[in-house]
Amino acid sequence: MAAFSLLFLLYACAQTSIRIRYFAPILPPLVVLSMIGLYRLRKTGVLGTKLSGPVRTALVFATVVVMLGLNTVYVAERFNKDRPLDYLSGKLTRDEYIQLFRPEYATFQFANEHLAENSKIFGLFMGGRGYYSDRFIAFSDSLFHRVARHAESGKDVAKTLTNKGFTHILLSFSGFNLWLKQAASEHDRQVLRQFLNPIREYCSPRMGMGCFKLNPDLISNHSLGIYN
């Protein structure tokens, strides 16, 4: 069990994005190992004959107190951070509670309330949380990068997305601006500026997010040339 727990822990830590849930499979083995350790700590002779029974008992008690204390501190921190009583007591509605922790939630709600049921949404830098959307939504930042890279104009970007059936874009401005600053080429920036500027009238800003309606007819067909 110890070898399994160690190997799984190393594997989980090697992932690109670490999540607490990745460690769930090793929690039962770790609990069992902890109980075995406490048993052996209490067992006569394990720590040598110099330690008396009361000393061993005190060590076990101190270990248990430390283990429970660390878990109590963690639970208290999570309780203060997640504020479940605000929701359970009715102080906050479900939507208000989710919005506290998920800034993009209001934009999803806007789309759910205002877009037609047959709308097809392209999500950009939205965290991939499509379960908040009642409309079809797809997330592919890499596709958007490729479209911008090979487009000759902003209209090409809009046409490519509409040809794939998309009618709207949900966009996180912070994530988009970060990508423009750190990873996008000058060609990408010019194409996307040409692509986004004419459709800002359809933008509904919500907590740094936006909802855009795709309409290639609004966008200039001026070619910028392929960037190599």
Q: Are residues 109 and 214 in the same domain?
A: yes
Number of domains in the chain: 2
Confidence grade of residue 218 (pLDDT, cut at 50, 70, 90): low
Q: Are residues 211 and 150 in the same domain?
A: yes
Domain of 150 in residue numbering reads as 104-218
Q: Are residues 59 and 137 in the same domain?
A: no
Q: Are residues 158 and 127 in the same domain?
A: yes
pTM flag (> 0.95): no
Q: Are residues 115 and 194 in the same domain?
A: yes
> Does 98 reside within a domain?
no
pLDDT in tens, 132-184: 999 999 988 888 888 888 888 888 888 888 899 998 888 888 888 888 888 88
DSSP string, 116-141: -TT-EEEEESSTT-GGG-SSEEEE-H
Pair 193, 154: CB distance under 8 Å: yes
> Does 93 reside within a domain?
no
Mean pLDDT of 47-61: 70
